[in-house]
Copies of this chain bind each other. A is one copy, B any other.
Amino acid sequence: MFQYFDVASDPSQGPARVARLREWLGKHGIDGFIVPRADEHQGEYVPARAERLQWLTGFTGSAGVAIVFSDSAQIFVDGRYTLQVRQQVDLSVFTVQSLIDTPPAKWLGDNAAKGARIGFDPWLHTISEAKALKTALEKRGAELVALRNNAVDEIWDDQPGPPLETVDIQPFDYAGELAKDKLARMAESLRKEGATHTVLTDPSSLAWAFNIRGRDVPHTPLALGFAIVAAEGPHLLFMDKRKLPRQTEAYLTQLADICPPSALDEQLRTLAKGGETIGLDFGLAAEKLRLIVEENGGKVVSLPDPARLPRATKNAAELAGTRNAHRRDGAAVSRFVHWLEARPPGSVDEIAAVTSLENCRVQTGNELQMPLRDISFDTISGAGPNGAVIHYRVTTATNRTLGPGELYLVDSGGQYQDGTTDITRTLPVGEPSAEMRERYTLVLKGLIQISMLRFPVGTRGADIDAFARAALWKAGLDYAHGTGHGVGSFLSVHEGPQRIAKTGMEKLLPGMILSNEPGYYKEGAYGIRLENLIVVTEPEPIEGGDIPMHRFETLTLVPFDKRMIVTAMLTREEFEWLNAYHARVRHEVAPLLTGEERAWLEAATSPFEDHHHPSR
């Protein structure tokens, strides 16, 4: 299984480790030390050696920060984890703070003692973060101190080594553009911005730029490392050669000089001493890199990661690949839904469902000769009231039976060599209530409105987010998350910069893949979310119109449960979209199934009857 259901958290070890950390701090004249969950790549998933926050505190959430002082300790978490942190962390040692209302910089700005020396590991904080910390501390007459070594590493005797998983070449058939051409384009953009070099710190950018994939973290096929891309001359790739099979090494050697990871510091130092101008993404790059450059006579300029936008706008090969991946993934999920529907209500629990779904993906991947490489994230499997917990992760402790009359929300995805998938469906277990059906239909209306949009060049995610909500709003309902995130191509399931949300300020460009995932959550009762992935098309002229308009092409191919839909609530346009979508699912996915499973899909995608609306 790619997913685990136990949580490796032990609050009892926290106090001893904190005590040792305090000893170290005392010896080194440091009054407080900041321990983020992040690693030097600012990734959503971090390797075991970087789980410092978890090791120190017991907290296993995917975002958080601790600050340990000689006589107190704070742990900062967001709304997803307010309950979890209290279960996982020793509250006699740690005080819980809100990561959103009083993030570390703000908290320090309100609480740091005058003259305090607050230590941090400059590899683990971005340039922007470090600046905010520095500003807040200096206002209090305190000092931000960059440590040479991470204090937790110093006391973590059995800290794992870095991951050394195999790195593969991502073939041209799936990448669609040669790495040397991508790197040349990036070099050109460096020249335009007046930088001589930039450091790629996001392994997703490394993977995209060099057309490689790895296995160093769960669920995202990344090979951790760094690169220095040069405007002129050879590029440098910092990666442990033990990860590179012969053909990968030979391939990469044509693109860059391969250096050990430990050489990054020295190489950057050398460039700085030569007076070079290094572009760094202040929201991504570690503060350490800025310090190296500026302390050695080089110049740092703010430069967004030059891989970010090209990686977001998928080319024809990437799009062809993800369409194929979605057809197969549609067959896999359909198999799962058929299996679930055949089980008597009350005979399946959340873990059994996750296991079955993963097996369906594995089986389908093998049958169709494109294996499931990993799931793209831990499946969210929420029955009944668990469905209303937006970031619910089932564990053996929380596992719940799917009960009759309940809704079951399942949000899952796969990593395939040709694409990354992410889909949510909400299924009735037994008979759903009228209210559940009405609210399911309001959520579906929102998804359909987004799916049907035409929009001009320059439209941003923020401009269209409300289309997913308008029907819910009319009923006095809403959902407390964004409508869509960007998705990678056999890369991260959460990939920026594009978003459909009030904060989504990036223009939607052709080739951008996004999720389309409105929902409705009734605390203590049930959750509904419906998610498809969509791609922005090139702008196309419309007959009789003046201006070419983008569309969204829907990638996900899985039916919506017909029993949940109140068709009288749909407009004519929405009704027709739904029947057409189901017809397309049948057309593209049914050929991949046989027997009962195929029959099930044909029934599940059969058109709704067309009624006269009695009054119109």
Contacts and interface: CB of A to CB of B under 8 A. Distances in A.
Interface of A: 452-456, 459-460, 462-467, 470, 473-478, 502, 522, 541-549, 571-573, 575, 610-613, 615-616
A478 B543 CA distance: 14
A482 to B, nearest CB: 12
A547 B480 CA distance: 12
A426 B254 CA distance: 66
Contact of A473 (B453, B460, B466, B612): B453
Contact of A467 (B470, B544, B548): B470
A18 B610 CA distance: 74
Given A571-B572, A612-B616, A476 B454 contact: yes
Nearest to A438: B544
A465 B467 contact: no
Given A453-B470, A466-B464, A470-B453, A476 B547 contact: yes
B463 A546 contact: no
B502 A473 contact: no
Contacts of A546: 476-478, 522
Contacts of A613: 572, 612-613, 616
Contact of A616 (B454, B459, B462, B575): B575
A460 B462 CA distance: 11
A462 B464 CA distance: 10
Contacts of A610: 615-616
Contacts of A478: 456, 546-547
Nearest to A539: B476
Contacts of A464: 466
A580 to B, nearest CB: 14
Contacts of A473: 453-456, 549
Nearest to A545: B476
B572 A616 contact: yes
7 contacts: A462-B462, A476-B543, A478-B546, A571-B572, A572-B615, A610-B616, A612-B613
Nearest to A475: B545
Contacts of A571: 571-573
Best-surrounded residue of A456, A478, A616 (most CB of chain B within 10 A): A616
Nearest to A616: B572
Best-surrounded residue of A455, A476, A478, A615 (most CB of chain B within 10 A): A476
A487 to B, nearest CB: 23
B475 A544 contact: yes
A139 to B, nearest CB: 16
A464 B467 CA distance: 9
A478 B457 CA distance: 11
A573 B535 CA distance: 30
Contacts of A455: 466, 473
Contacts of A522: 546
Contact of A502 (B463, B545, B575, B616): B463
A407 to B, nearest CB: 17
Contacts of A470: 453-454, 467
Contacts of A572: 571, 613, 615-616
Nearest to A523: B546
Given A466-B466, A466-B467, A477-B546, 17 more contacts: A453-B470, A454-B470, A454-B473, A454-B474, A455-B466, A456-B473, A464-B466, A467-B470, A474-B542, A476-B541, A476-B543, A478-B547, A522-B546, A571-B573, A572-B613, A572-B616, A613-B613
Nearest to A573: B571
A456 B544 CA distance: 36
Contacts of A459: 466
A466 B548 CA distance: 16
A476 B544 CA distance: 7
A124 B571 CA distance: 54
Contacts of A462: 462-463
Contacts of A615: 572, 610
A127 B572 CA distance: 54
A544 to B, nearest CB: 7
Nearest to A611: B616
A545 to B, nearest CB: 2
B547 A477 contact: yes
A459 B470 CA distance: 12
A452 B543 CA distance: 29
A475 B615 CA distance: 27
Contacts of A475: 542, 544-545
Nearest to A459: B466
Contacts of A456: 473, 478
A522 B454 CA distance: 20
Contacts of A612: 612-613, 616
Contacts of A474: 452, 454, 542, 549
A476 B616 contact: no
Nearest to A460: B502
Best-surrounded residue of A470, A522, A541, A548 (most CB of chain B within 10 A): A470
Nearest to A542: B476
A459 B465 CA distance: 11
Contact of A465 (B463, B548, B549): B463
A547 B475 CA distance: 9
